[in-house]
Amino acid sequence: MIPLGYFIGLSVLLFALGVIAFFIKRDLMTMFMAVEVMLNAANLAFVALAKAAGSPAGQVIVFFVITVAAAEAAVGLAIILLVFRQKKSIKAEDMRLMKG
Partner 1 sequence: MFWLIPLFPGASALILAVFGKWLPKKAVSWQACLSVFASFVVSVISFFGLLQIPAESLPLVKTLFPWIQSGSFQADLSLQLDPLSSIMTLVVSGVGFLIHVYSVGYMAHDKGYKRYFTYLNLFTFAMLILVMGANLVLMFVGWEGVGLCSYLLIGFWFEKHSAANAGKKAFIVNRIGDAGFILGIFFILLVVGSGDFRAINGAIQGGVVTQGMATLIALLLFVGATGKSAQIPLYVWLPDAMEGPTPVSALIHAATMVTAGVYLVSRMNLLFTLSGVAGQVVGLIGAVTAIFAATMALTQNDIKRVLAYSTISQIGYMFIGCGVGAYAAGMFHLYTHAFFKSLLFLAAGSVMHALSGELDMRKMGGLRKYLPLTYPTFLVGAIAIAGVPFLSGFFSKDAILTRAFAQGQYFIWALGLMGAVLTAFYMFRLVFLTFFGQERIEQQAKEHLHESPRVMTVPLVILAFFAIVAGYVGLPVVFGEKANLFGRFLEPVIHPGSEAHLGLSTEWMLILISVAVALCGIYIAYVFYLKSPQTPHRVVARFPFLYRVLHNKYYVDEAYNAVFVKPLVNGSRAVYDHFDLRVIDGAIDGTAAAAGFAGKALSWLQSGLVKDYALAFLLGVALFLGFLLF
Q: Which residues bind partner 1 (CB under 8 A)?
A: 19, 22-23, 31, 92-93, 95-100
Report in angstroms how near the CB of residue 85 gets to partner 1 at its nearest: 19
Which CB atom, from 56 or from 86, has the smaller least distance to partner 1?
86
Is 58:73 a contact under the CB 8 Å cutoff? no
Which CB atom, from 54 or from 93, has the smaller least distance to partner 1?
93
Report in angstroms how near the CB of residue 92 gets to partner 1 at its nearest: 5
Q: Which long-range contacts (CB under 8 A, 24 or more apart) does 33-41 make?
A: 36/69, 36/73, 38/14, 39/65, 39/69, 40/14, 41/11, 41/12, 41/13, 41/14, 41/15
Report in angstroms how near the CB of residue 10 gets to partner 1 at its nearest: 20
